[in-house]
Structure formats: structure tokens, C-alpha cells
Structure 1
Amino acid sequence: MPSATTRATLSRQWELLRQLPSRSPGVTSAQLVMRLKDAGFPISKRSIERDLNELSLIFPLERNDKSIPYGWHWSTAFAAHRSPLLEMLGSSSEGLREFELSSCLQHELPPFGHPEKIELIAWVNEHLARLLRETPLSADMRLMALEQGHQLTATVSNSWQLRWWLLSQGDGLIVEQPVALREHIALTLISAAAQYQA
């Protein structure tokens, strides 16, 4: 498993990416210092700027250089001509008039993993609970405050995406139910940790 320092850096950078707006003029480094402090990540302006420069090499981030202080934001579009999978059509096309994404996702597209729903019960830390309040896992998700952390309950699809997300939370989440899912996550983490013992 990654060290505590590595996990803290990843958590901070993830929060930093979440704070960036989708358009210009963006948000300044000084504003990001305050936002990250409010989210529980005290950090200097210089460290924020270093993180932004490093992250911009991986993610589509832009710096608005039109005025000082500079503002950072997500890029507004991807260059379609760079994709080898796209092909120019000879005439304009028109979208479906009666297309609903939610209906398509629920009924028409083949599901990933297993289509059945499960009740997920897990312990989550304060930081993850704060994120889940903003982006719930399901309509019936509940967070119950405990002496330390929160108990998460939600009805979710039993899919590879769920397992991938659970594993990506590291020590910020512990699956309690269902037992089969808890055992799967535990075995995966034990196997991964063993790779670092050599």
C-alpha cells in the first residue's frame, strides 16, 4: 500500500482538481489555498502552484494568463482532430429527437459486471463523508455519524466499477456488508500489500 505521505498528497491533489472551475477566468492559487484549507488540507501557495503545474502535464488544465493573478480552470474542449478513431462525415448529422441518457443507461446499454443491486454498508472517514454528501452514491444513500467517521449505507450496482471505486479509497473506507464483497476487497488489498513486502 502507498505510504501515508503519498496518500495524503493524492488526496490533496484530488481535492485540488475538484476545486477547479470548468471555464475561464478560473480560480487563483490564493483562492485555492483557502479552499483546500477549508477542506482540511493546509498548504502553501507555492505548493499549490507546483501541484497545478505537475497536474497540468496529466490533466487538461489551463492557466488564464490574461491578467494577474492567473486563474486555473479545466480546458473547455478536446481537440477532436487528434483522435484516430474519429471520421469526418460527408454531410451534417442530426441527433435523436427522443433520446434520454438516463433511460438508455438503465435499459438499453448492456450493464458492466453484475446487474443486481446490493445494499452497501461501510465505514468511511470524515473526508470521504464530506465528498459523498456532495456526490451521493445513490438516491437512498445515508451517512450516520459515529464517534469516529460515518457509517455509509447505499443501494448500488454490484459491478467492477463499484469494486474499483472501493479499492481506490484506501484506508478511508472499510466495507462491512455484504460479506462476500468485504472478503473480496480484503483479499485484493492483502495481495496488493504482499507485493510490497519483497
Structure 2
Amino acid sequence: MPSNKSRNTLSRQWELLKLLPTSGSGETARSLQNRLAEAGFPTTKRTVERDLEDLSSVFAIRTNDKSRPYGFSWTPPTSLQLSAVSVYEALTLQLVQEALRPLMPSAMLAALKPRFEQAHSKLKALAGISPAADWPAKVASVPAYLPLQAPAIDPATLSCVQQAVLTERTLKCRYYSAHRNQSADLALTPLGLVQRGGITYVIATTPPHSDVRQFALHRISQAELLDIPGEHPEGFDLHAYVASGAMQFGDNAVQTITLEAWVSAGLLGLLRETPLSEDMESMTADDGGWIRASVPDSWELEWWLLSHTGSIAVTAPETLRQRLIQRLRNGLELYDE
């Protein structure tokens, strides 16, 4: 059974949480001490300060230190209705925060900010005490490709695009085409956002055309949200679109081909650990081996094949083989003096 002192401390701290304002510059520790006394919990100003320090490691309490005495309040839009997070919830929030940033509308992400801060405070308070709290320092994620720096995205443009996706309205903007090296004014119907490595793509149509295209978000400028409903293709499903291979790029990216190739012994070992497809077949030979797999006929495939030059030789299909030979010849010419 908890002691009377423990019960009194818990009751006092619970009352203190209820006294914290949700807006403004906050209540001072002295003011909270007086209000606690009026509520039947006489205590010292120092005890109130210690209580607030302890509670801040669990709840999203903000300290206004712009002037003295400090003010204390809930971090907007938090209130006492926001329950405390467990250490495992804090771990999850900490690990997903960066992953969510480019994918969620700014307004939605702002609503989660108090939770993220709460999770950070929780883990910081438990560091060195709970082994689980140290987990974020013991895990990391790195890309399997050359980590290029993510392009800069204008925050106002990002917010406008996200609102267009969320409200299914038309987006007026200027778009720079790197392929054509020119900019053009467009009216887009955004259908969704896709994160591919460090680049965010807006999946959209350009009415009156109904074909679905990809637009790099960092190349969009002068974005304006129009009060015009977007023209969405009937039956469009973003996840089905991604699963089709469309985001691997290329005119035939959604078409599947049967890739046949000779590979070195080292690459064959890697592909047996991480196959190119579920139906990949392999056979060992004296100087390496052979593989056969169903894969999208995409630029992504060509980039991967070219990255293993010296360890793989495509034998089929012939059209892919000839494209690779030409690209290798073009590359070799760049090194000719």
C-alpha cells in the first residue's frame, strides 16, 4: 500500500497538471503554489518547481524562459487530455519522426509535435536508467546507395502541395523540367506524394490530360492552391500505382521482362541472399553462374546492371542487351583521350 505521503504527492502533482494553462505566457511557480494552497495542497515554491521538472519528463510542459519569473503551460495544442507515453511509445515516436516529416501534411505533423517532444523528454529522463531508453542510440539506418544530399524544398511550397493532396484541389504552379531545361506554368491535380530516397515526388495529372505523371517536389515553385476540385482518374490507387513499378522510371517501367544473364561468383552469392525477384532461378558454373528473373524493364534496372559492370553480362532480352552495350560504349568514349 502506498504511504499517505506518496498519495499526497500524487494528488498534488495531478492537481498541478490541471492548473497549467493551455495558452498565454504560462503560470509562474509562485502563482501555482498559491493556487495549490487554495485547492487544499499547501506546499513550497521550490516543491512546485521540482514537481514541474519531474512532470516535464513525462508530459509536454512548456517553460517560458523569455523573462523572469518563468511561466509554465502545456505545449500547444496539448492539454491534460494528452496521456503520458510509455517508454516503448516514446521509442516508436522517436524512430518514426524523421520518416514522417516529408510524408505528412504540415498541419498534421504540427499536431504531433507535442507527442514528439514528450517522447524526447521521456527518453532523455530515462537515459542511463532504462536500457530501452538507450535503444535509439544503438540502431541506425543507412541507404544501400550513394547517399546524395536531399534537395532543398521551400516550406511554403511543401505546405501548399500537401494541402492540395489533402483537399483534392487543383494546384497552380511553375515546374522546372530538368530533361528539357526549361520551366512551364502548370495546373496539376495532385493524387499523392511518394518518397523515393531523398526525393519527394508529386504524383499528379495535368488536366485535360488524364495520364498520371511524376513531378519532383523540389522543382515546383510559385505554388498556389486554387478553389477548384481536382480531376481524379477513376479508380486510381496510389499504392497500386507504386506496386506497378511506375516509380522505377522509364517508358516501359510497368512492363515485366525475363532477364537472363551471366554473373560472377561473388555477385551470384549476393543475389542468392537477396534475389532480384521471387521467381529468380540460378545455376552455378565454373566461372560464375547464370540467373533468370522477372523484373520491370526500367531505368532503375539499367542503372543496377551498369553498376555491376564487370560482374554481369546480359544475354536476354536482346533489346536490353543492346541498350546496355550502347551506354557502355558512350561511357567509354568519355574516358578516351
Structure with higher Rg: it is 2
Report which of the two has the higher share of strand. Answer: 2
TM-score by length of 2: 0.30
Q: Which has the higher contact order (CA 8 A, sep 6+)?
A: 1
